Amino acid sequence: MHSNLWIFIWRRKLSFLLVASGLVLLGLWTWAILIDTSAAAQPSAGLSSSERQQPQQSTGYQQVHIIQKLIEQANRVLRAERLKDNAVEKSPSPVQRLGNVRFLRPTQAKKGPLPMSESFLFEQERLKILEQQQRQRNAGMEELNANAEDERMLTSAERQTQYEHELQRMGVPVVAGIGPDGPRAPAERLVHLDLKGAPPKLSFLKQLLPVLRALGATGLLIEYEDMFPYSGVLQPLAAHNAYKEDELRDFLECAALHGLSVMPLVQTFGHMEYVLKLSGFEQLRELAESPQSICPSQPQSMALLEQVLTQVIELHSQCLGQATPASEVPVAPIRFTHIHIGCDEVQRMGECNSCRQRLRSELFLSHVVSMAHFIRRQWPQLGVVIWDDQLRSMSLSELQHSQVGSYVEPMVWVYASDIYRYIQPQLWDTYAKVFPSAWTASAFKGAFGESLLVPPLQHHLENNIRWLAVIAKEGGRFSKGLRGLALTGWQRYDHFAVLCELLPVGIPSLMTSLSTVSKGYFSTNPRDNELLRVLQCVFQPDSRRSGRPWLELHPNAHHSQLFAVCNYPGHLVFKYALRLYDKLAEIGLYLQQTRDQSAWLSDYNVRHNFSSPLRVRELTGRTPMLIEELRAMAREAQQLLWEVYDEYTVTEFVEQHIYPTIEALQRQLARAEMLLQRRTWPQRPLPLPLKVQEDMGLVTHQQQPQ
């Protein structure tokens, strides 16, 4: 009897398992219904609708998750049983034993596959769960769409508040009225290339052109100074490493291919050092001891300036296709509509015997009008631009009487954050009454320190954003509006000054400011801001996941970490400059501590040759290693800068930034070596050296009169 029962159970084991699984599933459904009923019966009058809905959704999700897991487990059991049955059928032994019972497996036809109803017993339940999950996802999408619709329905003031809050998180300066709903971008965005004394290779500048164009630049403001290939009687004005005429033509045509206009800048009053420093031109100075300004009262001055302008304009006109028939016309002519004649910071004016007879304002305005008249007579299609700083102190009547507004357009330049401190509303009103239109100028480097290594990006960005607000406010005063903004990047403060920030080191500042003024505001959305794409950054951080913005600027930082992981022309030089800046700061602090703050290697110890050898060795232990590190960085600078500059600029950079620190470390070693030579020391008190007495005018007790 028992044997037959076991045989029956063994043959129907699959059916018994299915029945047991169904009973368990039925019990679980019953338990879930009871819990929902009891939860719904509880009082919830004190809760809001969202608070009541949240636990119900959480409980329902947990129940669905448990049931889905049970169904998956049941399906795994069914598959395991089928595999086991197939393995048993393939076994060669037909005899099975169970305890003391011996029986034979009955012979029967080979089992076929399970019926569809048994293989997918829980398919309907699984489909119901999937449908419920899909409904939940649809509900979530509807909620997101509703939130997006709410954002679109925000007022302009609310959107501006959110935008300014995001700017503050990123460290980007906030300027009232500048945002996605603010004024339009300036029509013209010029990038200033200051070539005097540190000319980048034109191959590097060519790589930069498509980047500038992609970020919104419309033209170049090129200041040649002594890098222009002057010829004939003007050949001495060109530096020994000046550009060749054919390579300069090729560069100008490349700029045309990228859709960039060109505005050459030729100084014609102040900043004439590159001409007046030379033998044979010194007689044209305003003052004999200063080559800064040319004397406008000498006829030879006007003749020289006309020759300079003619050579520069003719070269650009030939590229434009407006030269003589014998000249070659390029395939893609450049847009050459204006020439800039400088006239800023004329520090020595009206001081020679001839110029003293006239007022400074009259002297300046007549010279500017004469230069502009010459240009307009020879090339009537060209507009003339000058810097505005010499006009700021002049009255409205002086400007109108000179008729300067009919000849030139001023370029108003301020590089500080408070633009109205230098250009008050009254001055804007005066300019608008004299000039039909004007230009403006900001800075992306070379404005916050004569010898800086890395430009302060945040300060330059704030300057450019504030100019956007000023252009929007003051442009309506002019009958023809404000033409645009020039982003200046000075390489030297004047011809005799040392280098300030190199162009590759200033590229992150340039690109950040250029993309901002081209859009009319700084875009906080990384997908909408062109910086990440154009600069080829290797990562695009998502602030919603990391909790940190994709760009972080700080008042005391020179850069953002973003630019250290981007790939753009000059990025290796930028990264090198950051490492050099940190190394020089580290060594500077080390020298200050050992010389000014220590008690054994100070100037007093050196003057009296009186110190502890043990302490001196301890203080100077790192010095030889630091010297070797700087020498290695000097060799690295030669390799990296060679891609951008010629050997003269490379050696000047190394001599200016690295060699002085090596000298200071070597002086420290020499002082230490002198202190270490001594083996005996005098008794105290130590006498005051005679030179110190004389320099300070002191009288010791022994020298006092009896």
Tens-digit pLDDT profile for residues 452-503: 999 999 999 999 999 999 999 999 999 999 999 999 999 999 999 999 999 9
Instruction: Report yes or no on 65 lying in a domain.
Output: no
Q: What is the pLDDT of residue 160?
A: 80
Report how many domains make up the chain.
Answer: 2
Q: What is the pLDDT of residue 5?
A: 67
Q: What is the pTM of this model?
A: 0.76
Residue 505 sits in the same domain as residue 454? yes
Residue 581, domain extent:
572-679
Residue 99 backbone zone (phi > 0: left; psi -120 to 50: alpha; other: beta): left
Mean of the per-residue pLDDT values of the chain = 84
Model confidence pLDDT, tens digit, residues 420-464: 999 999 999 999 999 999 999 999 999 999 999 999 999 999 999
Instruction: Report yes or no on 634 lying in a domain.
Output: yes
Lowest mean pLDDT among 160-174, 329-343, 532-546: 532-546
Residue 511 sits in the same domain as residue 386? yes
Question: What share of the chain in percent tops pLDDT 90?
Answer: 61
Per-residue burial over 687-706, b = 16 or more CB atoms within 10 Å of its CB, e = otherwise: eeeeeeeeeeeeeeeeeeee
Residue 515 sits in the same domain as residue 579? no
The three-class DSSP label of residue 284 is: helix
Q: How far apart are CA 75 and CA 590, in angstroms?
A: 72
Phi and psi at 411, nearest 5°, equal: -110, 105
Instruction: Report yes or no on 250 lying in a domain.
Output: yes
Residue 391 sits in the same domain as residue 487? yes
Is the pLDDT confidence value at 40 over 70? no
Greater model confidence, 10 or 278: 278
Residue 534 sits in the same domain as residue 626? no
Residue 471 sits in the same domain as residue 430? yes
Instruction: Report yes or no on 501 lying in a domain.
Output: yes
Instruction: Report yes or no on 87 lying in a domain.
Output: no
Phi and psi at 80, nearest 5°, equal: -65, -40
Instruction: Report yes or no on 491 lying in a domain.
Output: yes
Contacts of residue 642, defined as CB under 8 A and 6 or more positions apart, other chains included, come to: 650
Is the pLDDT confidence value at 285 over 80? yes
Instruction: Report yes or no on 665 lying in a domain.
Output: yes
Model confidence pLDDT, tens digit, residues 388-402: 999 999 999 999 999
**CA max distance for the chain:** 143
Per-residue burial over 182-220, b = 16 or more CB atoms within 10 Å of its CB, e = otherwise: bbebbebbbbbbbbbbbbbbbebbbebbebbbbbbbbbb
Residue 620 sits in the same domain as residue 536? no
Both structure tokens of 61: 């999700």
Return the CATH number at 251: 3.20.20.80
Query: 153 to each of 157, 231, 277, 525, how far by Cα in Å?
Result: 11, 65, 65, 19
Contacts of residue 7, defined as CB under 8 A and 6 or more positions apart, other chains included, come to: 103
Per-residue burial over 296-329, b = 16 or more CB atoms within 10 Å of its CB, e = otherwise: bbbeebbebbbebbebbbbbbbbbbebbeeeeee
Average pLDDT over residues 243-264: 95
Per the document, the length of the chain is 706
Residue 343 sits in the same domain as residue 205? yes
Answer whether 190's CB lies under 8 Å from 263's CB. Answer: yes
Greater model confidence, 530 or 505: 505
Mind telling me the catalytic residues? 345
Q: What is the pLDDT of residue 435?
A: 98
Nearest one of 253, 657, 285 to 452, comparing CA atoms: 657
- Looking at residue 22, its amino acid is G
Is the pLDDT confidence value at 110 over 50? no
Residue 517 sits in the same domain as residue 418? yes
Tell me the angle at which helices 360-378 and 299-320 cross, rounded to the nearest 10 degrees: 40
Q: What is the pLDDT of residue 27?
A: 79
Instruction: Report yes or no on 104 lying in a domain.
Output: no
Q: What is the pLDDT of residue 50?
A: 43
- Looking at residue 71, its amino acid is I
Greater model confidence, 225 or 90: 225
Residue 515 sits in the same domain as residue 602? no
Residue 235 sits in the same domain as residue 293? yes
Residue 343 sits in the same domain as residue 382? yes
Reduced 3-state DSSP string for 38-89: HHHHCCCCCCCHHHHHHHHHHHHHHHHHHHHHHHHHHHHHHHHHHHHHHHHH
Answer whether 129's CB lies under 8 Å from 67's CB. Answer: yes
